[in-house]
Amino acid sequence: MDFYPMYIGGRWVEARSGRRFTSVNPATGEVLGEVALGDREDVQAAVEAARDAFDAWRRMPAPRRGEILFRAAELLGRRKEQLARRMTQEMGKVLMEARGDVQEAIDMTYYMAGEGRRLFGETVPAEMPDKMAMAVREPIGVVGVITPWNFPIAIPSWKIMPALICGNTVVFKPASDTPILAHRLVEILEEAGVPPGVVNLVYGPGGTVGDAILAHPDVPVITFTGSNEAGVHVNATAAPLLKRVHLELGGKNAIIVMDDADLDLAVEGVVWSALGTSGQRCTAASRVLAHRAIKDQLVTKLVERIRRLRLGDGLDPDTDVGPVVNRQALERIHGYVEEARREGATVATGGRIVDEGPLARGFFYAPTLLVEVRPEMRVAQEEIFGPVTAVIEVSSLEEAIRINNGVRYGLSSAIYTRDVNGAFRAMRDLMTGLVYVNHGTIGSEVHLPFGGMRQTGNGHREAGRAAIDFYTEWKSIYVDFSGRLQRAQIDIPQAPS
């Protein structure tokens, strides 16, 4: 059986304890390999390596750091198909979506490589003669990177690449459901020329490895993507040490379908936003706010389209929807559907665990559409993170916007309409970090900020130039080249009477 060690100080090593765990294919139950199970001692070694490597890495000119990331992007591109197939095996998403995940990492790595020549500062006029005033960006130190399983290449690259280009070093803890993908990504960074200690990889559960990173005094920066409950814990643990914390948390995203919408276009947007990646996206559309004039017609079209989706192993080219990540996720999703039934919702299609035939070996949930859903129901308020979406009837754009904004999350939203005035009102009034017009709630580009409002996060953004702001500090510099003592005295001329 293949073994995947940790990476600390430029060496691939066993866990100090010698313990291991296994990575399992959620579609088939196949064991994919054994992985080193880290603990606090391994975190300590990784942090020490990252701390020791920081000074030399920050002193390396940023364009040279960019050249290393450029080589990493090229390696990701050459291995895209290999990485995508392994992702489908380890995480479950269909192969086409796995290729998209890897492509996001390629795009981000190329983009951040270019930022090595664009870590712009500022120059401003000084108050005194013969004096120069400017501000430059500085790296901060060791960054703790804690990532989820649903985008096991893309999300780590969205965090690691900007941290590295800014001159920080990294201790990386991936989700325990997808350790092999993390191993492959770090292998590529090593091959691209990242010096020893600059990137370190420790596997293990959040309660030991994650908490050790959060509590370590030599890790001043934390970036985390995961559930709101875990995000609160991250924030509380890091707060006493005044760490800089970036949180990307949950979403309860809605697609508004107005009475003038192209319904066929809207159906495709709903289906892939809600059910792609088996609904396991923070941007998944788990609410559909349908205008009463077209609601019944839309539901009919959605039911027909959803019933044509094929469940199966993501490596099968005929599969549309793969498994969910594990048994716990399967039971949580079904629990939400059962609760919706008890609250008065109706299952238009789906609503069950699929455990017959070859699918019985994996964790499959039937793509589900709920109707007769009210905005206050749990299924309309809480993140499900599975292939389930709920139709809520609305009578106007204003009502749709109010319901969209009436949840604790604010990540992504979309509207389907032919009315340009209504579209612009939605763009103005939808309180989400991402807004789409005549497109689903999923999909983002690496040169624009990514993140949400309210309890979706804590205000920081990933991607684009906004990411650079999080991973750097400002240093203001004053240079007096007059050769003499200057007294701060400013005469402001009076306006003529």
Please report, for the domain that includes residue 262, its CATH number.
Answer: 3.40.309.10
* 260 and 350 together in one domain: yes
- The residue annotated as part of the active site, out of 104, 248, 383, 393, is 248
Say whether 308 sits in a helix, a strand or coil: coil
Spatial CA neighbour of 443 closest among 405, 411, 404: 411
* 22 and 117 together in one domain: yes
* 235 and 299 together in one domain: no
* 210 and 279 together in one domain: no
pLDDT in tens, the chain (497 residues): 899 999 999 999 999 999 999 999 999 999 999 999 999 999 999 999 999 999 999 999 999 999 999 999 999 999 999 999 999 999 999 999 999 999 999 999 999 999 999 999 999 999 999 999 999 999 999 999 999 999 999 999 999 999 999 999 999 999 999 999 999 999 999 999 999 999 999 999 999 999 999 999 999 999 999 999 999 999 999 999 999 999 999 999 999 999 999 999 999 999 999 999 999 999 999 999 999 999 999 999 999 999 999 999 999 999 999 999 999 999 999 999 999 999 999 999 999 999 999 999 999 999 999 999 999 999 999 999 999 999 999 999 999 999 999 999 999 999 999 999 999 999 999 999 999 999 999 999 999 999 999 999 999 999 999 999 999 999 999 999 998 877 666 566 677 76
Domain assignment present for 24: yes
- Interatomic CA distance for residues 175 and 43, integer angstroms: 15
* 231 and 257 together in one domain: no
DSSP state of 195: P
Active site (annotated) includes residue 248: yes
Say whether 225 sits in a helix, a strand or coil: strand
* 215 and 269 together in one domain: no
Tell me the sheet residues that pair with 308: none
Say whether 344 sits in a helix, a strand or coil: coil
Q: Is 27 left (phi over 0), alpha (psi -120 to 50) or beta?
A: alpha
* 380 and 239 together in one domain: no
* 213 and 261 together in one domain: no
- Interatomic CA distance for residues 214 and 156, integer angstroms: 17
* 414 and 472 together in one domain: no
Domain assignment present for 488: no
The β-bridge relationship of strands 409-410 and 364-365 is unpaired
Spatial CA neighbour of 322 closest among 309, 333, 337, 332: 309
Domain interval for residue 260: 253-437
Task: Say which CATH number the domain at 119 has.
Answer: 3.40.605.10
* 299 and 337 together in one domain: yes
Residues listed for the chain: 497
* 216 and 306 together in one domain: no
Give the count of domains, the chain.
Answer: 2
- Interatomic CA distance for residues 476 and 488, integer angstroms: 18
Prediction pTM value: 0.95
* 379 and 466 together in one domain: no
